[in-house]
Amino acid sequence: MEKYNLLTFLHFTEGKLRKNNAIRKMALFMCDCGDKSIKAYDSVKCGNIKHCASCGRDKAAKSKTKHGLIKHSLYRKWQDMLNRCRNEKVDRYKNYGGRGIKVCHEWANDFGVFYNWCIASGWKNGLQVDRIDVDKNYEPSNCRIVEPIEQGFNKQNTFYVYHNGKKYSLAKLCYEQKLKYHTIWKGLKSGVTFEYYINKLNIKLD
């Protein structure tokens, strides 16, 4: 008796004509669940088909619901993250997947792993998963949990200033120290040094 994964071979059936006029072997198989169906013999034998269609749908459904967290707000964030990096039809794809940004294998293939990392990292409703380096991937070593306003200071178009080898978000400095962002940004763009504003406005740097 021939058995391949969950499928047991019963007998050959009428072959299927390919586009190149070759005949493809078709056979009747019985799945371990009891369902019988006709499938391409070579696809079953090489392992491309492992079970009946019903078992395939059940397996897919279980893989999506086994964590029981589909209604959790983090599940939507996880889906949005994957879409931004994978789905070319999503508006924001050009800023993520279109730039080569990916989701690490562990997170992309298991929501539970992503969920556990978020919870362990201090996530709660209202917070965001933020990439530390906006030119690198979504992965534990490059992500953190932050307030939405903090995430707003760390975008692809964020304007950074430098002092003593350290990088600072100008928008964040201005927000925290109640400074006029546009005035300083305009001055820096025209050639005024950041050190000038540090001294003039008493900007505090950590």
Nearest to 54 by CA among 28, 36, 69: 36
Provide the token pair at 168: 């600072």
Tell me the average pLDDT of the chain. 84
Asked if pLDDT for residue 59 goes beyond 60, the answer is no
206 is a domain residue: no
pTM above 0.85, yes or no: no
Instruction: Report the pLDDT value the prediction gives residue 62, as an integer from 0 to 100.
Output: 52
pLDDT tens sequence across 144-174: 998 877 766 666 667 788 888 888 878 778 7
Of 65, 85, 102, the last residue of a domain is: 65
pLDDT tens sequence across 121-132: 999 888 889 898
Structural domains in the chain (count): 3
10 is a domain residue: yes
In a 3-state reduction of DSSP, which class is residue 23?
Answer: strand
Task: Judge if 77 and 148 occupy the same domain.
Answer: yes
Q: How far apart are the first and last CA of the chain?
A: 73
